[in-house]
Structure 1
Amino acid sequence: MVRESWASRAGFILAAVGSAIGLGNLWRFPWMTAENGGSAFLLLYLLTVLVVGVPGLLAAFVIGRRSNRNPVGAFKSLSGSRFWTALGGLCVVTSIMLLSFYSVVGGWILRYFLESATGAYFAAPETHFATISYGVEAFGYQLAVLAATSLIVGAGIRRGIEATTKVMMPGIVVLLVGLAIWAAGQPDAAQGYEFYLGFDGAYLAENFLSVLGSAAGQALFTLSIGGGTMITYASYVDDDRSLPLDASVIAVFNLGIGVLAGLVVFPLLFSFAPGPTEGGPGALFVGIASAFANLPGGRLLGAVFFLVVFLAALTSLISILEIPVSFLVDEFDLERSTATRGLFALVAVTGGVNAFSPAVFTLFADHLVDLLLVLGLTGFMVYTAWVLGPAAIEEYLEGSGAISRPLVIPWRYAIGTVFPAFLLFTFYADVTALVGLSVGRGLLSVGTLLTMVVLVSIARRTVSETGPQPGKSRD
């Protein structure tokens, strides 16, 4: 079966940016920022995206383009190792988990977009959200969103994913800019900006580890790099593209739209809602809905806002669904339409559990997926640096320009040592906090060091068993 590729560089970048911004920036980013001290979280989030996210994104791109395969096929074809192939399998599992709760949120957004015309949520936003967020109706809207996502992915890379994101992404940016300008004129916008952008060193010092873990998880969540999306998208990229340039552009766009989303949300939360930390995952549907209920033209403004969020949700869902679809197409030679229909049925079941159970939804959305994304990117980095090694450098340099070429050696050694160690440290800090253990930084550092030794040993043994990396795998 002939494998598709992107029709243009712009199509690839817009699709990747769409995957990155999606619900991660418009739904989850304001909620996580509010729960982690506002500006303290924002600072660590920005640093993590730029310092760790871009090199990690580049590692995923290298694996994807080098193999021309989905995450499972990439590790299988490049290393032949069961351990690393299992890492690809983890990506597929993570994508199913993401789809299972993301599609529930997508259903909420679709419902709110439609209900904006009647103002159904205006009278009592908190009560309304509590009533509609789980149950049969939530499941019905979830299925509608999954069906729309499946139709786009089933149409293919060029006619489905690329064509759709080329239209949606400019629309999202234009509408967000307009909403940010409008939000700036609201009565307590200045307080929202202060919470969001004013640096709070005391809060950061007191809560550094918890904020760091949340910021790292959010950075990987928005950039879509720990779950295999960017491996999959890069597998459709031609050799003449500069992977370092594309990774930098995608990260900058992601940051810009994330910050822009905060400039819309926080002025409204301070002007019309009980406060920035109210609502958790439902903050967007309670606090922001309260704003539209109290504004002239609130129905129109609500419809525009939730249209933006719905388009962003679709771009994320499209990219996540492409991971298991490409796995079935590449590894089992299934028709794309058949693979898409089968996955629709599977996620209807797994997602249905999230649509009916708040406890399962919260577990997936707030903790489990973050941890899996951190583990995934840690593996990508170690694999790229230690197993691909010189082959990773070759792939990095393919199509690269004069500015990025001198950075290749520092990039390789950074993703082989410092950055995965940082991710493992945040992973252990998050896990211990989740289970209620009080562990000092020294013990966390020891656990991180021991895990790094084990991972590097596995990588070196893989190289000794398989020999130098072969040339590119091409159909």
Structure 2
Amino acid sequence: MAQRETWATRTGFILAAVGSAVGLGNIWRFPFATADGGGAAFLVMYLLFIALIGFPAMLAEFVVGRKSKRNPVGALQEYGGDAWRYVGGIFVFIGVVLLSYYSVIAGWFIRYFLEGLRGSYADHLTAYNGEAAAMFGDLTVGLDAFVLHTLFMAATVGIVALGVRQGIELAVKVMVPALIVLLVGLAVWAFTLDGAGGGYSYYLSPEFGTIADNWTTLLPAAAGQAFFTLSLGMGVMITYASYLSEDRNLATDGLTIIGFDTGIAFLAGLVVFPIFFSAGLEPGEGGPSTIFIGMTEAFADITGGQLLGLVFFGTVVVAALSSAISLLEVVTAYAIDEKGMERWKAAGGMGLLIYVIGIPVTYDLIFLDLYDGFIDAVLLVFGALMVMILVGWIAPKVAVNELSKGIGDLGSFDLAWIWAIRVPIIIVLVISLYLGAVDYLDILADFSEWLDTNL
């Protein structure tokens, strides 16, 4: 077996992990999850999840990955025994399904960027009688969506096929800093808009009574978003940590990644909501279409909207690619480690499978609800729960020993970390999993009705 690749630099690993975390989860999903959750009330729950659960969970995935030097299937098998191999298979499945629709959504952002090159967003809306929702419905399904899905997956496969150092690490060293600079510039510009104050109030002024009244809805939504945006529960951090050396301080790296990711998610809100309110729009429960409909209407009404729209949608395309390569790396590493495939064959073969699974989403958005609801509300939380059980209850001593490498004396941190995983985190994840599964039943009911109507 060929020698396993490693990161060339600590910066490369940090940027790759940040790039995985910040993509569409932060700029596409975070704003609509926040809007569906009522604004600041959701933000509070999300930040609590990141601080109290995200960091311990990330450390758990790090120790499993670095200890084994394997993909999620091999890592969980080596760490917990043969039965855990099948749990690791869930992570590979998550990576396949998640990237399949993620690629289609990335294609939507490419399309909106291209529309900005063709003319002003106001002119485009005129063609749809001013209806941004009609424009979204037209641009996001059909042949064009299929072609852009194809192009985006081809680019993702090309980068991953080049390897960890020459492909992923080189790409993220350019993309992630560019992403941060562009978002900061957009946030500064949004601050200057008339009416932006309404957006800041909606986003930053929580009503705690709302949180108390709606916690059963906010809890699974915040949990799913936290794991989605941190790339937890999907095998990415296990895979990326498998390329780390033993002298790396996992706690410092984890805090750095979470700090960047949370900062960028927060920054995305400081861009989107002031723009919404300055254009006289209030975020509603628009789901996946929120960012497209709202931002298109805003860019149609704002001076310089065409240029700003190009910058915004182009920024999201960069973010999407940085995340997509991490998801493809999970399944590529599985094919390399477990099936003995060469990297370019593994990336190409798994990329083709993912591409085919995503095609239905280019036909009808009901498939996006079907895929995303299952991944976000059920499998991501389940995957994280399994890792917590493995690290907290099955092999805690191995985990503590691995965590201490590169850190030294852990003091009382190791005890606090393990017991946080064992009890409160597992309890919260179980509750979130139950609530998320209940919500997903509604999606299945909608899909059943769609089948009855269309078949």
TM range (shorter): over 0.9
Mapped to 1, the partners of 2:387 and 2:158 lie a distance apart of 30
Q: How does 1:124-163 map to 2 (within 5 A)?
A: 124=125, 125-163=132-170
- In structure 1, the residue matched to 2:436 is 430
Query: CA shift at 1:415, angstroms?
Result: 1.0
Contact between 1:242 and 1:401, CA under 8 Å: does it hold in 2?
no
List per-residue Cα deviations over 1:364-416 (Å, max 9, x = no partner).
Answer: 223443310000000001101222221111101000156x5431111112212
Contact between 1:61 and 1:243, CA under 8 Å: does it hold in 2?
yes
Contact between 1:152 and 1:164, CA under 8 Å: does it hold in 2?
yes
Mapped to 1, the partners of 2:189 and 2:120 lie a distance apart of 23
DSSP 3-state at the match of 2:412: helix
- In structure 1, the residue matched to 2:63 is 62
Number of positions where the alignment pairs a residue of Structure 1 with one of Structure 2? 434
Contact between 1:121 and 1:128, CA under 8 Å: does it hold in 2?
no
Equivalent AA in structure 2 for residue 277 of structure 1:
G
Query: CA shift at 1:279, angstroms?
Result: 3.1
Larger displacement relative to structure 2 (359-368 or 313-322): 359-368
- In structure 1, the residue matched to 2:116 is 116
Query: CA shift at 1:118, angstroms?
Result: 1.7
Contact between 1:119 and 1:293, CA under 8 Å: does it hold in 2?
no
Contact between 2:98 and 2:375, CA under 8 Å: does it hold in 1?
no
Runs of 4+ aligned structure 1 residues displaced above 4 Å come to none
Mapped to 2, the partners of 1:176 and 1:434 lie a distance apart of 33
Larger displacement relative to structure 2 (127-136 or 215-224): 127-136
Q: Are 1:380 and 2:381 an aligned pair? A: no
List per-residue Cα deviations over 1:321-348 (Å, max 9, x = no partner).
Answer: 1010000001111111001111121112
Which of residues 355, 358, 364 in structure 1 aligns to 2:371? Answer: 364
Q: Are 1:79 and 2:86 an aligned pair? A: no
DSSP 3-state at the match of 2:118: coil
- In structure 2, the residue matched to 1:281 is 288
List per-residue Cα deviations over 1:50-87 (Å, max 9, x = no partner).
Answer: 110000000000000000000001122233322x1111
Contact between 1:16 and 1:233, CA under 8 Å: does it hold in 2?
yes
Which of residues 178, 181, 187 in structure 2 aligns to 1:174? Answer: 181
Contact between 1:273 and 1:290, CA under 8 Å: does it hold in 2?
no
Mapped to 2, the partners of 1:343 and 1:36 lie a distance apart of 35
Query: CA shift at 1:434, angstroms?
Result: 3.9
List per-residue Cα deviations over 1:135-179 (Å, max 9, x = no partner).
Answer: 221111011110111111111000110111011111111111110
- In structure 2, the residue matched to 1:222 is 229
Mapped to 2, the partners of 1:349 and 1:22 lie a distance apart of 22
Mapped to 2, the partners of 1:312 and 1:184 lie a distance apart of 22
Mapped to 2, the partners of 1:75 and 1:4 lie a distance apart of 19
Q: Are 1:352 and 2:353 an aligned pair? A: no
Task: Check 1:401–1:255 CA distance in 2 against 1; reply closer, same or farther (3 A cut).
Answer: farther
Mapped to 2, the partners of 1:147 and 1:167 lie a distance apart of 19
- In structure 2, the residue matched to 1:408 is 414
DSSP 3-state at the match of 2:406: coil
Mapped to 2, the partners of 1:223 and 1:382 lie a distance apart of 19
Contact between 2:156 and 2:321, CA under 8 Å: does it hold in 1?
yes
Mapped to 1, the partners of 2:215 and 2:61 lie a distance apart of 28
- In structure 2, the residue matched to 1:464 is none
Contact between 1:21 and 1:223, CA under 8 Å: does it hold in 2?
yes
Contact between 2:92 and 2:235, CA under 8 Å: does it hold in 1?
yes
- In structure 1, the residue matched to 2:106 is 106
- In structure 2, the residue matched to 1:187 is 194
Contact between 1:57 and 1:230, CA under 8 Å: does it hold in 2?
yes
TM-score, normalised with respect to structure 1: 0.89
TM-score, normalised with respect to structure 2: 0.93
Contact between 2:121 and 2:305, CA under 8 Å: does it hold in 1?
no
Contact between 1:279 and 1:287, CA under 8 Å: does it hold in 2?
no
Contact between 1:26 and 1:258, CA under 8 Å: does it hold in 2?
yes
Contact between 1:176 and 1:260, CA under 8 Å: does it hold in 2?
yes
Which of residues 226, 241, 244 in structure 2 aligns to 1:234? Answer: 241
List per-residue Cα deviations over 1:225-267 (Å, max 9, x = no partner).
Answer: 1010000000000111001111111111111111000000001
Contact between 1:71 and 1:231, CA under 8 Å: does it hold in 2?
yes
Task: Check 1:425–1:278 CA distance in 2 against 1; reply closer, same or farther (3 A cut).
Answer: closer
Q: Are 1:30 and 2:36 an aligned pair? A: no
- In structure 2, the residue matched to 1:312 is 319
Mapped to 1, the partners of 2:332 and 2:427 lie a distance apart of 32
Equivalent AA in structure 1 for residue 85 of structure 2:
T
Query: CA shift at 1:273, angstroms?
Result: 5.3
Query: CA shift at 1:278, angstroms?
Result: 5.4
| Structure 1: 5+ residue stretches without partners | 437-475
Equivalent AA in structure 2 for residue 344 of structure 1:
G
Contact between 1:397 and 1:405, CA under 8 Å: does it hold in 2?
no
Mapped to 1, the partners of 2:376 and 2:361 lie a distance apart of 13
